[in-house]
Each structure stands twice: as C-alpha cells, then as structure tokens.
Amino acid sequence: VQLAESGGGLVQAGGSLTLSCAASGRTFSSYARGWFRQAPGEERVFVAAINWSGLSTYYADSVKGRFSISRDNAKNVVYLQMNSLKPEDTAVYYCAAGIVDITTVRPSEYAYWGQGTQVTVSS
C-alpha cells in the first residue's frame, strides 16, 4: 500500500500549485483523504480533508478560500489545488488516508501516509 505525492515545487507568493496524491496497492474509495503539512521545526498540522464520496470537505482556517481539495475515486487520486500562496504556506505536504471523520485534525487518526512533497513559496 503506497501513497505518493507529486506537484510540489518553488512558487512566488500569489502563485498556484496543484498537488496530487496517487494511491497504489489498494483502493481508498471508501476512505477519507486528507492533506497535512509540516514546516521545519514544527508539528504536522491539518490542511484539508474530503470524505469518501467527495461531497464533503473540511479546511483549516489558514487555507480556507485559497485551497481546494478534490478526489477522483476511479483513478484513486486526491488533489490539493493551492491558490494565492503565501510564504507561510511553505512546508512539506503529506497526503493521508483513513476511516475518519473529515473534521478530524489529528494526524494520528489517519492510517496511511505518503512520503511528502516540498512546497516553497518565495516572497
């Protein structure tokens, strides 16, 4: 079972990036999917989550209105569209999967994790 993030990189403030998280080894169509991020020296924090059907989403206040999470169950992929990026969005972004309520913000509640992708926003 593997989750693999892609799409990270260096972008100027105000720019956009789209992260993808592809799953292999099993289907996660019945799982909630989440994105978390971790800046250097800080704890991993919740960014966004989407329920199994894609009809319900939940966001951290810090990204609400700027980020959008979506999923394609046929492809076993979840996306994070990030707009109006700020330097404080700089972090390693991780995708996760779990049988959780999407309002769950604790990383420990998610069972499966990717290796992360670096997002750097320059000012």
Q: What is the pLDDT at residue 76?
A: 94
Reference 9, options 64, 90, 96; nearest CA is 90
Give the type of residue at 90: T
Pairing of strands 9-12, 117-122: parallel
Using one digit for the tens of pLDDT, what is the confidence trace for 64-106?
999 999 999 999 999 999 999 999 999 999 999 999 999 999 9
Non-local (6+) Cβ contacts of 32 within 8 A are 49, 50, 51, 52, 97, 98, 99, 100, 101, 102, 104
Per-residue pLDDT band at 1 (split at 50, 70, 90) = confident
Average pLDDT over residues 32-42: 97
pLDDT at 27: 86
C-beta separation of 17 from 7 below 8 A: yes
* Residue 54 near residue 70 (C-beta atoms within 8 A): yes
Match 């990270």 to its residue by tokens: 8
d(Cα 32, Cα 52) in Å, to the nearest integer?
5
Nearest 5°: phi and psi at 67? Answer: -105, 150
Could you read off the pLDDT of 44-62 as tens digits, one per residue? 999 999 999 999 999 999 9
